[in-house]
Amino acid sequence: MFNGGGSQGSTAPTEPTAIGNLAFARAALVALLALAISAAVLLSLYPRLLERSGAALDTTPGAAVDARPGTAATPWAINGADLIVRMGGAEPGAGDSLHVTRLEEGVDSRAILTRRVALDARDYPYLEFDIRGRNLASYYYFIWRTADDPDTVHHIALPFSGENSSVRLLAQDPTWRGSVIEVGLDIYGELRDVSPQIRRLTLLPAANASLWQSIWAEWRAQRTWTQRSAHQLPGTPTETVLSPVLGAAAWAGLALLLALLLARLVRASLIASALLCLLLPWIALDLLWQVKLSNQLEETRLLFSGKSRAEKHLADIDSELYSYAQHLHSEVLPPPGAKVHLLNEEGRRGYRRLKLQYYLLPHNIFNFGKHPIRESLREGDYLIVLDEVPGLRFDRGRGELRWGDQALPVVRVDRRAPGSVYRYRGETP
Amino acid sequence: MSALLGALLAIALPWLVGGVWVYWLLGRYARYNTFVVLGHGYLLGVFLATAALRAWGLTGLALNFWGPASALALLGFAGAALAWRRPVLQPPAPARAALPGWQLGLAALLLLLLAWRYLTIGEELLLRPLYPWDAWMNWSPKAIVWFHYREFTPFVSPNDWLLLPPEDRAYTLGAFNAWKYPVGVPLLELWGMLAVGSSDSSLVFLPWVAVALALAAILYGHLRLAGAALPLAVLGVYLLFSQPFVNVHSALAGYADLWVAATFAAAVFALTEWEERRSLVYAGLALAYAAFCAQLKIPGIILAGMIIALLVAIRLDWRRLLLLALPALALLVVVLTWGIHLQIPGLGPLTLSAQQVTIPAVGDFRIEFHPVQDALLRANFLMINWHLLWYVTAAALVLSLLRPRLLRATLGSWLALVLCVAFLLFVYFFTGRYRFALDYSQVNRAFLYAAPLAVFFVCRLLGRLENTPAKPADRAG
């Protein structure tokens, strides 16, 4: 089927003596049948496997209900309008929903909405959340407190899958235990001029359908690029029920075995059937990835499309550092050539210090340590102190940078958040 | 010249020059196809462009685009003149037979998916300012400084920078050892910056998509040369370029790893022609890639050594291979028992022992076992980095061991893959790099070097598998 025969003997690849369309159609039917059976088997077996492996940990939905015979938990629905705004701003919306209108500024911009409840976590291993108007720049967490430890707020991320309604498995979180006294949402990030609508939070009892819905939501979970994206692509939230790759491999593997049997029975092409059993799950995984890439591109367009280079930097994640570097380039530092020492509390691999160094190129920068290295300084060298460095301070009266029992004669040439710039005056003889 | 035109010229010129030379060289043996010429042409052309920049720097003239570009163009004319004076041999035309509809349909579907993927990636790359960490920390700064001064300003270690007299101009970088990283990628960026006229343009990183296209052409071309039918060769391209981790290194451009992977893979694919046809041109091409690989990244130095070792090993039959294995085994016993310590003039100490490995220009590695299997399994079999690649590859390797005929037919690509994976496993299980497996910061990038080899091996194996005969009536389709 696939061997054109070009590498043995002749120097020209010849077109293959391929199987015909009918033979391929037969092989495709075998593969589709095998994939369908494989999917059916896995869909029914996996929850039982999970139940068995997880029962000992008391984290599985099956265990949760089985542990309380006689308890017939029914879904516990909380409408958006039932939530009380603890932080940020919100307004009632249609159908008992709630529109989050404002995030409260602080360390992060955030809104917190909660509701008192009285329930046993074991009865509700799943949460269905119906939230409209989310975007990739905002992060949603389901939060709760328990009677055993009311001062601690526990949380689990509610990934953005692009759909309005999703299901999250709570039982996998080891802190979703005991008597729950309050639940709610913690939202931070950016709303982007849209008031997301909280329609409903529904705590659900154990059910296979909910398990698969939660797995599907995890597989669809969307995150924007991070600085780790060029190093690893987990593809799902950190605590995932089932890896999509493992799921696809199991699906393909079982289908492959079935196809080998079926193909012999109906005299279909073994290789074509087997290959399709691998290729179709591969394409399914690939489409999941393409959706993520396309969603990421939408986000990238939103941030950068139609903007100049400078505007793009100002729209990027570290616009503050870029603005600061531009200020230093144009108003503070001399043309590139002078030696610059960048001081910062972060260690060697600190993002802020390294990114500022990049933005300051082609200035000649030594970017290590948090205190000046006195013996290497020459008169006229510049020192940039990025952010506050504990213990390092400027003595304006003496014109000195001081740390510990040391002092360095400098002129402060600029002071503007997030840093200060000094010029070394040299040691007076 | 507009920035876009400059960026396109910076890609097209090396591609054309490299293509002309590859065409002429491979034409001596009539063992090539359009895709092989196109793919190798780009990689070789980029190597030549970086060499032209270096040569220009040696003249002491200010760095610019048009000088080295003219030299490159002259080289291209020389190649074209050679081809004109001594026409190349044309490969025999493949026996044309109408492809069944399903083959065309499958190939079209896969190519459509790839087109969608790389259009998405291309737009992402062009819209976003330089993003990934190592790109702006390690690779771009040298190019930016050289672009600014129009000269190859030296980069020194942080300690040496502190001791510099005021009149000396030298730079250092924020990552402690980055100053000594090979300069291939900064040169490549500098080439783009000079053409575009800016050090802050996404256009500079378009080659990160071009190199993916070139590798796709090389993979397709070599699979076809190896006898794969069109759908299998397209399937190979799809398997490689649908992989998220391969995609992300084009979308978030600026790392060296995709270049290392492409160069190493191109060398290995060329070596299979050397293996099967004794084609000296392909052996020479592999050696050129070994040189390029060593200039791209420090692991590229090891991969270059691997290319040279493969060049020797895959031409040997089993008996000679075993004969070669005996002294190698003896050497291994010596290393593990007593160790080897040499002082290599001009390079430094070389130490190979059970406790320590020191390789000049590469580094010092204390040898200790580190249990990183969970992280490796997670990275390769659970995360979405590689789709099902390593499952399929593992199955193919097992199959090849069970059927010696298959192993013999795919020996070169098998050996390259096994050697590369063994090297990666050794690095993460036995050296201090294990921490980069545990935090996943490096391990996937390392397996990127093996991914094209895995796809190539799997496809060659598939090509060798016997098909269950279809009924004669079905063959007509």
- A129 to chain B, minimum CA–CA distance in Å? 26
Kindly state whether residues A328 and A399 are assigned to the same domain.
yes
Chain B CA closest to residue A228: B441
Kindly state whether residues B258 and B382 are assigned to the same domain.
no
Band the pLDDT of A54: cuts 50, 70, 90.
low
A347 touches chain B (CB under 8 A): no
Is A234 contained in some domain? Answer: no
H or E stretch at A120: strand A110-120
Is B438 contained in some domain? Answer: yes
Is there a contact between B227 and B272 (Cβ–Cβ < 8 Å)? no
Q: Average of pLDDT values for B324-350?
A: 87
Is A94 contained in some domain? Answer: yes
Which backbone phi and psi does B224 adopt, to 5 degrees? -65, -40
**Which of B258, B276, B307 is the last residue in one of the domains?**
B307
Is A236 contained in some domain? Answer: no
Name the maximum alpha-carbon separation found in chain A.
98
* Rounded-to-integer distance, Cα A204 and Cα A211, Å: 10
Is there a contact between B443 and B436 (Cβ–Cβ < 8 Å)? yes
Q: Tell me the residue type at A193.
A: D
Kindly state whether residues B419 and B446 are assigned to the same domain.
yes
Of A10, A15, A258, A117, which Cα lies nearest the Cα of B98? A15
Q: Tell me the residue type at B108.
A: A
Kindly state whether residues A265 and A177 are assigned to the same domain.
no
Kindly state whether residues A364 and A349 are assigned to the same domain.
yes
Q: Taking the CA of residue A380 as centre, how many other CA atoms within 13 Å lie in the half-sphere pointing to its CB?
A: 7
Kindly state whether residues B233 and B334 are assigned to the same domain.
no
Chain B CA closest to residue A335: B148
Between positions 225 and 264 of A, the ones with CB within 8 A of B are 225, 227-236, 243-246, 248-249, 252-253, 263
CA angle B344, B345, B346 (to 5 degrees): 110
* Rounded-to-integer distance, Cα A40 and Cα B432, Å: 45
The encoded tokens of residue A210 equal 């909910």
CB contact under 8 A, B381 and A354: no
- Name the average pLDDT for chain B: 92
CB contact under 8 A, B140 and A358: yes
Is B302 contained in some domain? Answer: yes
User: Is the pLDDT confidence value at A307 over 60?
Assistant: yes
Query: Hunting for tokens 């545990």 — which residue is that?
Result: B438
Contacts of B468 in chain A (CB under 8 A): 263, 267-271
* Rounded-to-integer distance, Cα B247 and Cα B241, Å: 7
Kindly state whether residues B268 and B368 are assigned to the same domain.
no
Is B441 contained in some domain? Answer: yes
**Which of B278, B307, B336 is the last residue in one of the domains?**
B307
Q: Average of pLDDT values for B258-279?
A: 94
Kindly state whether residues B255 and B321 are assigned to the same domain.
no
Kindly state whether residues B257 and B403 are assigned to the same domain.
no
pLDDT digits (tens, 9 = 90+) for B281-312: 999 999 999 999 999 999 999 999 999 999 98
Task: Please measure the distance between the N-terminal and C-terminal CA atoms of chain A and give it in whole angstroms.
Answer: 87
Contacts of B386 in chain A (CB under 8 A): 245
Kindly state whether residues B288 and B357 are assigned to the same domain.
no
Is there a contact between B13 and B49 (Cβ–Cβ < 8 Å)? yes
Pick the residue with more confidence: B328 or B440? B440
Kindly state whether residues A35 and A107 are assigned to the same domain.
no
Which backbone phi and psi does B153 adopt, to 5 degrees? -60, 130
Distance of CA A174 to the CA centre of its chain: 21
CB contact under 8 A, A362 and B145: yes
Q: Is A77 helix (H, G, I), strand (E, B) or coil?
A: strand
Kindly state whether residues A168 and A245 are assigned to the same domain.
no
CA–CA distance from B415 to each of A71, A343, B81, B209 (Å)?
61, 50, 39, 29
Band the pLDDT of B466: cuts 50, 70, 90.
low
Kindly state whether residues A102 and A194 are assigned to the same domain.
yes
Band the pLDDT of B325: cuts 50, 70, 90.
confident
- Total domains, chain A: 3
User: Is the pLDDT confidence value at A56 over 70?
Assistant: no
Pick the residue with more confidence: B89 or A309? A309
Listed range (A125-129, A303-307, B403-407, B473-477) with the worst mean pLDDT: B473-477
What pLDDT is attached to residue A5?
45
- Total domains, chain B: 2
Kindly state whether residues B360 and B436 are assigned to the same domain.
yes
Q: Is A213 helix (H, G, I), strand (E, B) or coil?
A: helix
Pick among B31, B36, B127, B157 to test the A interface (most A CBs inside 10 A): B127
Q: What are the strands of the beta sheet with A419-424, ordered from one edge?
A: A364-366, A339-343, A382-386, A419-424, A406-416, A400-403, A393-395
A127 C-beta neighbours (distance < 10 Å), count: 24
The encoded tokens of residue B241 equal 């370029």
Kindly state whether residues A247 and A148 are assigned to the same domain.
no
> Which residues constitute the domain of residue A404?
319-424
Is A402 contained in some domain? Answer: yes
Kindly state whether residues A272 and A167 are assigned to the same domain.
no
Band the pLDDT of B95: cuts 50, 70, 90.
low
Band the pLDDT of A1: cuts 50, 70, 90.
low
User: Is the pLDDT confidence value at B8 over 90?
Assistant: yes
Is A255 contained in some domain? Answer: yes
**Which of B258, B280, B307 is the last residue in one of the domains?**
B307
Is A357 contained in some domain? Answer: yes
Is A301 contained in some domain? Answer: no
Pick among B133, B203, B390 to test the A interface (most A CBs inside 10 A): B133
CB contact under 8 A, A11 and B464: no
What pLDDT is attached to residue A158?
94
CB contact under 8 A, B96 and A15: yes
Kindly state whether residues B83 and B160 are assigned to the same domain.
yes
What pLDDT is attached to residue B270?
96
B15 C-beta neighbours (distance < 10 Å), count: 23
CATH number for the domain that contains residue A92 = 2.60.120.260
Kindly state whether residues B256 and B377 are assigned to the same domain.
no
Pick the residue with more confidence: B472 or B293? B293
Query: Hunting for tokens 């196109």 — which residue is that?
Result: B38
CB contact under 8 A, B148 and A24: no
Contacts of A365 in chain B (CB under 8 A): 174
Kindly state whether residues A367 and A416 are assigned to the same domain.
yes
Kindly state whether residues A291 and A337 are assigned to the same domain.
no
| Rounded percentage of chain B residues whose pLDDT exceeds 70 | 97
Of A217, A68, A69, which Cα lies nearest the Cα of A130? A217
What pLDDT is attached to residue A71?
55
Q: Average of pLDDT values for A207-226?
A: 93
What pLDDT is attached to residue A66?
39
The ipTM assigned to this model is: 0.92
Chain A CA closest to residue B250: A230
User: Is the pLDDT confidence value at B332 over 60?
Assistant: yes
Of A160, A317, A136, A126, which Cα lies nearest the Cα of A237? A160
Band the pLDDT of B408: cuts 50, 70, 90.
confident
Contacts of A364 in chain B (CB under 8 A): 169, 171
Q: Tell me the residue type at A119.
A: L
Is A163 contained in some domain? Answer: yes
| Rounded percentage of chain B residues whose pLDDT exceeds 90 | 75
Q: Is A343 helix (H, G, I), strand (E, B) or coil?
A: strand
* Rounded-to-integer distance, Cα B209 and Cα B265, Å: 16
Is there a contact between B138 and A361 (Cβ–Cβ < 8 Å)? no
A353 touches chain B (CB under 8 A): yes
pLDDT digits (tens, 9 = 90+) for A260-287: 999 988 888 899 999 999 999 999 999 9
> Which residues constitute the domain of residue B204?
3-88+103-307
Kindly state whether residues A67 and A200 are assigned to the same domain.
yes
Give the sign of the dihedral formed by CA A314, CA A317, CA A320, CA A325: negative
A159 touches chain B (CB under 8 A): no
Which backbone phi and psi does B323 adopt, to 5 degrees? -60, -35
Residue B228 has its nearest CB partner, among A4, A285, A358, at A4
